[in-house]
Every structure is written in C-alpha cells, then in structure tokens.
Structure 1
C-alpha cells in the first residue's frame, strides 16, 4: 500500500470513489467520481472522470471505495500519559482534563498531533487523572469557576464544550448540583455541555429537564437502572422530546455504556442517535470497544441506515462541536475525507454488558485525507475471530 502522509505536498487525485454523506443534489447516489486536491490542500475539481492532471500528481485508486466527510469520533479519551484511561489521539477528547491540567493535554497531545483534536473541558479541576478511583466531583472544592472560565478563554480554538459526569458513582450525593453548575457555566461561556448519564442519582429524567439545544447526552443507549431509556414509557418519551429540542443523542459506547438490547429497541421506534462515538479508553480497548469502524458496524447491524451511520460519524459530530465542514466537495474547500469499504464479512463482537453478536458487514477504512496528505488506515484489534483478507488491500484481522 502506498503511503502518502509524509510525501511532498503535490496535487492528490482520488480516483473512482463513491461519495456518501454529502449533499445528495451535488453527489448522486452510487455515482463514481474523481476528486482532485491541489498542493494547497483544497479541492480543485470533481468530475466523473479527470484525465488531465499534472505529471507530479499522486493518485489513490479508490476502485469504487466509498468516500465521506472525514470521520469524527465525538467521545474519546486521548490524554495519553495524563490520565490512567487515555489512549493515543483520535479526535475529540471528552473531559479527560480539567482546568488544573488542561495545559498538559494541549501542549503534549493537541498541539503535536497531525489530526485536528478538540476537547470538552471537565468541570472537575483534575479531570480523569485516576478515573473512577478518585472522583473529579467529590466536593464543591473540586470546581473552580474562575479558573474554568480562564482556561476556556485561553483555549477557545480547541475547547468545544464542558463535560459533566452526572452519575452517582462519581458525584455521590450531589445529585443534579454539578450539572446545574455546568449548565450555568455553559450559558455564560456560550458552550454546550456534554453529559455522561449513568448510575443514579441523578435520574436520566431529571438530567434531560436541564438540557437545551446543542447540549449532548452521551451513553444514550446504556442499559443501567435509572439511565435505561426503556425502563418506563415516560422516560422514552422524554428522550424523544429531547431529540426534538435538538439535544444531541450520542452513543458513547465505552466499556460500560452501550446495550444492544436498548439500541435495537430504540432504532425500531425510529429513535436514532445523532452521533456515534466510541468512548474508547485504556480500560475498554481489549474488551467491547476497540475502534471506530467496528462501533459504526454495530449500529449498522442493529438497523441504522448506512447513510445515517456515515452522517452520525462525520458531519453531525462536527456540527455538535460547532466546527461544521461546509461544502467539502466545492472547489476551494479544504479537503477532509475518509475512504472506506463496506465488506461482507463475519466478526463476533460484544456490547458493554457482555452480550455477544455477530456482524456480517464491517466498515474497512482505507485512507484519511486531510488537506493534500493521505494517511493509510491502521487499526488495533484484540484477539477476535479471524476473517478473510480484504480483497483490496490485503489487510487481515
């Protein structure tokens, strides 16, 4: 496989790719096209066939691969070395750092990454330094509103929201108090709040009543008592109403927060998540969630339509962090794409409750294209059932 990530910046041609997740008027379904990206990283031309290109143009033969807006994992933990759960960078960190240690995440991870990495700032000063062993929300002394505001103002280019873990195992007897304070700060700082829902107290019902347009419920399909959206019809209606109020429902799979049963039932009633994310971290990577493509494959298998899965993995999360892509295929737009195949394959997986399922289609990413650079996909996989080599690139589990 040719590697283009470190090649000199010359024009890049993506040949014979099939757009998905873009404006349907501009990209007819299943139509193959060529996309020419200039050395400056901006789209120069899109057409069914581009035969005249400069001699130094690098070419990726998509061979009918899908191309979508660049995938964005909305909920990850990437402060590698700064917390005991974080892994190496993906894209949006969901509260690993608080105001007392955000500078480390910024200097050592965000500013050194090839990817665009954004972050939700944990309202607890220490963030997830020792996740679930030392709570970031034990007492009021764990939250410093002045320092939170100063940290946000100094990092507006990368901080995209505030993170609150509204769960009884974190906040003990505080119930809704941390979330109320987080919402107040969000209004003052003009930022959305991402809320982790889990074990009561608070109850999922009460959390929803405090949220507004643009706020994010992560772990929306968890199967925990008190946070289980199928446990009573009133709660399910509240979640539907939250969606209708433009509150973002985010999967946030994680090691303890995604149930096949809950997701399947919600999808059967047309309650779809707006965003799909992994909540990938060091405590889950050898268990139920180890990469983004497999997480997307789970939602596809549960009945979420292909194009909706792609939107929930690409343009929707960018809107959720107020960094929308715009018209990526328009001439002059900066390139940000993911090339992938959808393989007919068999892969045994689990949800975070340990329930097994077998996937029969799996997403197989080939390249991430950012500007004029292209990174071939590389993935970590735990020891799972092996499957046949990809016919396009030879990759094998």
Structure 2
C-alpha cells in the first residue's frame, strides 16, 4: 500500500522534503500517491534506515546466532551484515534460509574458516592449519554470491587462532585482495598482537571491536599502537564498534574520542550470548556512544550514511524519487538508565535513541528499543 509520511525531522539526508511519498512499488515518489496511507511521525526524527554492520543471524547454523528478526526491524534496523557466521562450507544455507527471506537487507562477510561459527569458540573455525581454510572453495563461493557477500571475515585473536598467530589474517587479507573486497578483522587477545594485524590492513578494511579493553589486545595498549590505529583510521581503515559480550570498553571509547580517534561505524555483534545484556540492540549501543561523547549527528552517521554503502545501499540520497524507501523513525528520549559495557563497567545514561518505526519499501512497521 502506498504511504505518505508527515511531521518528521530529517537527519542524514542531502535534502529531504517536508513529506515523503512512497508508491505501491515501494519506491519514493515525487508527489502524493492516490489512496496512500498517511502516517504522522509525531515530530520524531527520520533518517536513512539503520544499518548494523556486525551481527550473527545464521540461526540454527551456528550455536550463537539470533534470528534475523531479533536484530532487525523490530529494533529499528533495516539492513545488517552477518559477520562471519558462515564459511564457504555452509554459506548456501545462510543465503537460502536467512538472506533471501529477510525483510531487511541482509549481506554477509564470509568467514575465512570453512566451517564458520557452527560451534563458536568450542570448535574454532581455525582449528588446524591443514584443514581450516580452503582458499579455492572460498573464492568460488564469493564469485557465485557476489550479490550478497560484502567482504571476508577473520577472527585474529588467540582464542581462535590457537597458535597460528598472524597467518590466518594474512591469508584472509590476500583472499580479500584477490576478490577486491574489504577484510573485516576481529581483534582481541593475542596471539597475534593487535599491531601485527593493523599493519596488514589497507583503506576500506574494517577493524571490528575497535574499542575493546582487552590487555595486550587493545589499541590503547601503548602510545605507539594507538597512534598506528589513529593514522590508519585517517587513511581510510574503518573502525567499527562491534560491542559484543567481551569487546567494548567505556573507558577505551572515551579515551579514543578525546584523542581524536572516532569510529567509522557503530555495530552490535549481536548474538545469543549478549542479546539479554550487555548489548541488547543497536539503539542501546548507539546511546552508549552518545553518552561517552559522540555527537548525535555523528552517531546517526555511524549507523546510516557510513556503513550502508558497504552493503551496496544508498547513503544520504534515500529521499530521491525512484529510490527504494528505507527509513528509520526514532526519538531521542530523556530518561535515566544504567548501562553496562563488556568489561562490567557501568554508566548512567540520560539520553537514549528510541526507534519508533521502520519503512522498507511500502511497508511500515513499529519498532522499539529492547533495553539497557
């Protein structure tokens, strides 16, 4: 059914009309459409649809993934990237059962480890050098699924690499280069050291868990490592929050912002082990970044105009007639709640992003924040 959205404050667009018209075909229209349902947004904000660049939604294919609906429209998210739940061996299932049926735009970073996260951390996808990575099959799967695969994923931390050190990250980087795709690299506890990982990255690559507070695994370990991260970010390496159950520190985030290192994107790393806390949802994660000093407009940019192009979506031009409707309507509420980071530190937050509705094509659905 055609829609007309009225009474909103636009943010994150090059130009936005006072009212938005969406035809029966789901495309933004230049003028009102006969018979359209009129939706009064009540003075709320309207932005390009929120994008979560790091989720795990291969439910049933891994032991940690949530259903895509739990990461998506119900909490204000219209687009997401599954970050390495599937490797080449099972990607066909992720595509058929998650990506293709999804209401939201769902893309994937293909795990360099063939088995992906089927038994996450109990059985590492990099369990053995002689059988964990199949370069030829990985390349073949990407070539056959370029419409939905947006990059390569590698987890470069000691609990995963188990003695491989930097080698899996180097292999993943070479595969990404061969395919002309970005590499998303999970950073954490050594081995390898975080500076070893940073040194192989080039503009367009993504460092997820960028503000983790792990000892010997954080950009804040030494002044030299922090300066390396800040220089790379300035050159176009993308720093992604990737909150997760163990990978976001209020203190590290405050320090980074104070010293001029800002995230490219805000993402949740949402999965079964953090959906009930400390992560909850994207809106809560956004509110945490707001609380540690990132301005409202930049928080919105970190979930819209910056990450959306990684998934092949428009950035600031979503109000242009002929484009597919893809919006999030939200409020900024003043309320006090205590939020928790991944290290157990707490922070009293007094302003929260509160999603109210998503519009995807000619479909409008209510949305709400899950919790703090």
Q: TM-score range by the shorter chain?
A: over 0.9
Does structure 1 residue 33 correspond to structure 2 residue 13? no
Taking the aligned partners of 1:55 and 1:347, their CA distance within structure 2 comes to 44
Bigger shift: 107-116 or 295-304? Answer: 107-116
- The aligned residue for residue 312 of structure 1 is 302
- The aligned residue for residue 260 of structure 2 is 270
Does structure 1 residue 119 correspond to structure 2 residue 116? no
Taking the aligned partners of 2:21 and 2:306, their CA distance within structure 1 comes to 25
- The aligned residue for residue 83 of structure 2 is 94
Does structure 1 residue 16 correspond to structure 2 residue 1? no
Q: 1:183 aligns with which of 173, 187, 202?
A: 173
Gaps (5+ residues) in structure 1?
Answer: 1-8, 47-52, 385-397
Change (3 A) 1:94 1:243: same
CA contact (8 A) 1:251 1:275 kept: yes
Deviations 1:270-300 (A, max 9, x none): 2110100000100111221011100000001
Does structure 1 residue 154 correspond to structure 2 residue 133? no
Q: 1:73 aligns with which of 52, 59, 71?
A: 52
Does structure 1 residue 203 correspond to structure 2 residue 193? yes
Taking the aligned partners of 2:110 and 2:101, their CA distance within structure 1 comes to 19
Taking the aligned partners of 1:21 and 1:282, their CA distance within structure 2 comes to 31
Gaps (5+ residues) in structure 2?
Answer: 72-79
Change (3 A) 1:332 1:348: same
Deviations 1:208-237 (A, max 9, x none): 110001100000000011222222111110
TM-score scaled by length of structure 1: 0.88
User: Shift of the alpha carbon at 1:126?
Assistant: 0.6
Does structure 1 residue 286 correspond to structure 2 residue 271? no
CA contact (8 A) 1:214 1:320 kept: no
Structure 1 SS opposite 2:160: helix
Taking the aligned partners of 2:310 and 2:200, their CA distance within structure 1 comes to 18
Taking the aligned partners of 1:266 and 1:250, their CA distance within structure 2 comes to 13
- The aligned residue for residue 328 of structure 1 is 318
Deviations 1:155-189 (A, max 9, x none): 11111100000001100111110011001101111
CA-based RMSD: 1.4
Taking the aligned partners of 1:54 and 1:322, their CA distance within structure 2 comes to 28
- The aligned residue for residue 42 of structure 1 is 27
Deviations 1:335-358 (A, max 9, x none): 111000110111211000011111
User: Shift of the alpha carbon at 1:323?
Assistant: 3.7
Taking the aligned partners of 1:55 and 1:40, their CA distance within structure 2 comes to 13
- The aligned residue for residue 56 of structure 1 is 35
User: Shift of the alpha carbon at 1:321?
Assistant: 3.8
User: Shift of the alpha carbon at 1:359?
Assistant: 1.0
User: Shift of the alpha carbon at 1:54?
Assistant: 4.8
Question: What does 1:134-283 align with in structure 2 at a 5 Å threshold?
Answer: 134-140=123-129, 141-283=131-273
Taking the aligned partners of 1:74 and 1:99, their CA distance within structure 2 comes to 20
CA contact (8 A) 2:230 2:260 kept: no
- The aligned residue for residue 395 of structure 1 is none
User: Shift of the alpha carbon at 1:123?
Assistant: 0.5
Change (3 A) 1:325 1:40: farther
Q: Across the two proteins, how many residue pairs are aligned to each other?
A: 361
Taking the aligned partners of 2:318 and 2:267, their CA distance within structure 1 comes to 22
Deviations 1:221-257 (A, max 9, x none): 0001122222211111001111012000000000000
Does structure 1 residue 85 correspond to structure 2 residue 75? no
CA contact (8 A) 1:248 1:320 kept: no
Change (3 A) 1:208 1:324: farther
Greater RCO structure (CA 8 Å; 6+ sep): 2
CA contact (8 A) 1:161 1:321 kept: no
- The aligned residue for residue 296 of structure 1 is 286
CA contact (8 A) 1:21 1:68 kept: yes
